[in-house]
Amino acid sequence: GAGVSQSPSNKVTEKGKDVELRCDPISGHTALYWYRQSLGQGLEFLIYFQGNSAPDKSGLPSDRFSAERTGGSVSTLTIQRTQQEDSAVYLCASSLEFSPSGQEAFFGQGTRLTVV
């Protein structure tokens, strides 16, 4: 597609339920990032995928969070047994691994997750 696409745009879930957030990166982009942005805060790094390398999961806040990237393209971020503190905007971005013009990460519009 023309840009990074995230779905759903908004998600309201009950505490304790599992949720899946989807990210479709720009075609051909090998790098994919997930970030969490709490209300009025900066971007907290969650996980990074680069090609076929093992993902960098160092930012995942707990074992309730997991992510996968199938076929080097679409990624799903799963949050199990959601808690109210998981409420935030989840942003996905993608980029080329190497670009003569300089790397740039392109962002989706995010998924606003509300846990009630």
| Residues 73 to 92 in contact with other proteins, rule: CB under 8 A | 89, 91
* Smallest separation (angstroms) from other proteins to the CB of 112: 8
Question: What is the residue whose two structure tokens read 């393209």?
Answer: 73
Q: Cis check for the bond before 100: say yes or no (omega within 30 of 0).
A: no
Rule CB under 8 A: choose which of 7, 10, 38, 41 binds other proteins: 41
Question: What span, in angstroms and rounded, lies between the C-alpha atoms of 7 and 57?
Answer: 21
Task: State yes or no: residue 97 binds other proteins (CB under 8 A).
Answer: yes
Task: State yes or no: residue 31 binds other proteins (CB under 8 A).
Answer: yes
Neighbouring-strand partners of residue 106? 94
Are the C-beta atoms of residues 98 and 45 closer than 8 Å to each other? no
Structure tokens at 110: 């995010």
Task: State yes or no: residue 93 binds other proteins (CB under 8 A).
Answer: yes
* Smallest separation (angstroms) from other proteins to the CB of 84: 20
Please count the other Cβ atoms lying within 10 Å of the Cβ belonging to residue 69. 19
- Catalog residues that contact other proteins under the rule CB under 8 A: 31, 33, 35, 37, 41-43, 45, 48, 50, 53, 56, 89, 91, 93, 95, 97-98, 102-107, 109-110
